[in-house]
Amino acid sequence: MAEWFVDIARRHGGFDVTLIDLKEVDLPLLTEPVHPRLQQYTHEKTKAWSATVASHDAFVFVTPEYNYSSPPALVNALDHVYVEWNYKAAGFVSYGGVSGGTRSVQMTKQTLGALKMVPLAEAVHVPFFAQLMEAGKFKGGETQQKAATAMLDELVRWTNALKALRTPR
């Protein structure tokens, strides 16, 4: 599903798009000794993740739902750094069964608030996503494409508006 969205985002043209796969980032469960706010990272993987998050102005989280909630890998990745997320807007592409991953998104939005991020109202939610899989790849239709474009348009607006806050003081 991430590949499907990245293709749309690249064609949208509002951003230079990077696909970040948390499986490849491979963060361990958080074991940094001090709060991420202090940025005193001790692990190389945290330092690399800090640099990755810092180098992007906006995010779209492509996420499933685990037990009506956010998947632990996403929460762990969010928890690892703090300042690097601040004042950045974020959209969601979520998928699942009947819920379309919406409960996961609602739970994650609470964490984004703590990180001083701005979660967008516009989103792509895909219920019963398995029905839209073809040869192991997600094939979204016009409805999902329109939703993705609407979200990206808003993401551009919020990312521009938040630029002043992201400027180091």
Ligand X SMILES: Cc1cc2nc3c(=O)[nH]c(=O)nc-3n(C[C@H](O)[C@H](O)[C@H](O)COP(=O)(O)O)c2cc1C
Footprint of ligand X (CB under 6 A): 64-68, 96-97, 99
Q: Which is nearer to ligand X, 14 or 64 (CB)?
A: 64
Minimum Å gap between C-beta 152 and ligand X is 22
SS3 169: coil
Distance in Å, CB of 64 to ligand X, minimum: 3
Min separation Cβ 94 and ligand X, Å: 9
Q: Which residue is nearest to ligand X (CB)?
A: 96
Report which of 99, 108, 129 is spatially closest to residue 60, judged by C-alpha positions.
Answer: 108
Can you say whether residue 104 is alpha, beta or left, with left for phi > 0 and alpha for psi between -120 and 50 degrees? Answer: alpha
Q: Which helix (H) or strand (E) holds 11?
A: helix 2-12
Q: What residue ranges in 4-163 does DSSP mark as E strands?
A: 58-63, 89-96, 118-119, 124-127, 133-134, 137-138
- In the bound complex, what is the minimum distance in angstroms from residue 36's beta carbon to ligand X? 24
